[in-house]
Amino acid sequence: MASHSLTLFSSSSTFAPFSSHQIHSPNLSTVRFPRPINTKPNHHSLRCSVSIEKEVPETERPFTFLRDSDDDSTHSSSVRARFEAMIRAAQDSVCEAIEAVESGPKFKEDVWSRPGGGGGISRVLQDGNVFEKAGVNVSVVYGVMPPEAYRAAKGSASSDQKPGPVPFFAAGVSSVLHPKNPFAPTLHFNYRYFETDAPKDVPGAPRQWWFGGGTDFTPAYIFEDDVKHFHTIQKQACDKFDPSFYPRFKKWCDDYFYIKHRDERRGLGGIFFDDLNDYDQEMLLKFSTECANSVVPAYIPIVEKRKDMEFTEKHKAWQQLRRGRYVEFNLVYDRGTTFGLKTGGRIESILVSLPLSARWEYDHKPEEGTEEWKLLDACINPKEWI
């Protein structure tokens, strides 16, 4: 379920002192190239110049997708190896938890690699007992980005310095889980790590790296105990590293998943961060690991509690309307998805996050005071749940 295309695009500078160019691989979520806000690179050349090898299907999972040259004792290579181990462990733990809830249905798995290094594992469970659709993907990518993107990432490159193409490394885990029962919430999470190598003709140039990710919660109906439980787990993960993380990343999440044409958020938030490299690298690796390890305890107890609740056709119709909002955000505002559709990426990978079914009704407005209205109000006016 991998695409051989990577896409590059612009992103809003609302949340950081940089606007960004991003590389997107459908199994990797997004990878960002920060640039100073006022720079205006040629987007066409950036989009067309990034190159990676076409994937090759594999029949078995390899021990690692890293190149042999990365299997050494250098600090950055160690981060690469440990991050890959973390995302693969996260994929395993989430899939095992989902299959335990399902009590029978299993994930379909596709494994792929690239001759020069890298690869991925895509797992999808569809039409299960509990989940309408669940996808959990990991990816390790080696590629080359154009010199314009390298200068953007450095931010301080002089105008007379003209480096050649810059090798990059990226790895990530990405997942969307859509339950059948309208009282059980949808969950999305992804965690990623990015590095550039020094350009071959600029010896000694500094290596760039950053972390990104988040976990967010999208119910159709509000059970305050569920929302508080979910946000409490996110806060506990953040507080182990910096007490400023949760309020900062909670607001970032509320702002990021904003559906502008509806003037509402996709769901009830969580945490979201990107371009993090202003803390110790080891600390951020441990923080990303803690966040990924928090997915199962934050989510599975809620699904277990709600999966067998009785519901009516009205409840299901409202869930489908909220799923429509999910589709709108992903197809209109997720720049990786929209660019992938325009540039011929593998459609099954690009759209793996979408639900099996969704609904749109003309001018639908829930009656004020109803449970449906309460959810919509919380999406329009984000709340502090804990």
Residue 25 is given by DSSP the state E
Residue 331 is given by DSSP the state I
Separation between Cα atoms, residue 121 and residue 58, nearest integer Å: 10
Separation between Cα atoms, residue 193 and residue 200, nearest integer Å: 22
Catalytic residue among 188, 229, 231, 315: 188
Strands 264-265 and 258-259, sheet pairing: antiparallel
The torsion angles phi and psi of 94, rounded to 5 degrees, stand at: -70, -45
Separation between Cα atoms, residue 314 and residue 276, nearest integer Å: 43
Helix (H, G, I), strand (E, B) or coil at 47: helix
Q: Which residues pair with 23 in a beta bridge?
A: 8, 31
DSSP assignment string, 159-226 = TT-----EEEEEEEEEEEEEESSTTSPEEEEEEEEEEEPPPTTSTTPPPPEEEEEEEEEE-SS--HHH
Q: Which residues contact 376 (CB under 8 A, 6 or more apart)?
A: 264, 366
Using a 10 angstrom Cβ sphere, with 0-12 exposed, 13-18 middle and 19 or more buried, the burial of residue 268 is buried
Separation between Cα atoms, residue 277 and residue 18, nearest integer Å: 13
The answer to whether 43 is a known catalytic residue is: no
Which residue, chain included where needed, has tokens 């002192």?
17
Q: Produce one character per residue of 43-73: b if its CB has 16 or more CB atoms within 10 Å, e if not.
A: eeebbebbebeebeeeeeeeebbbbeebeee
What residues act catalytically?
188
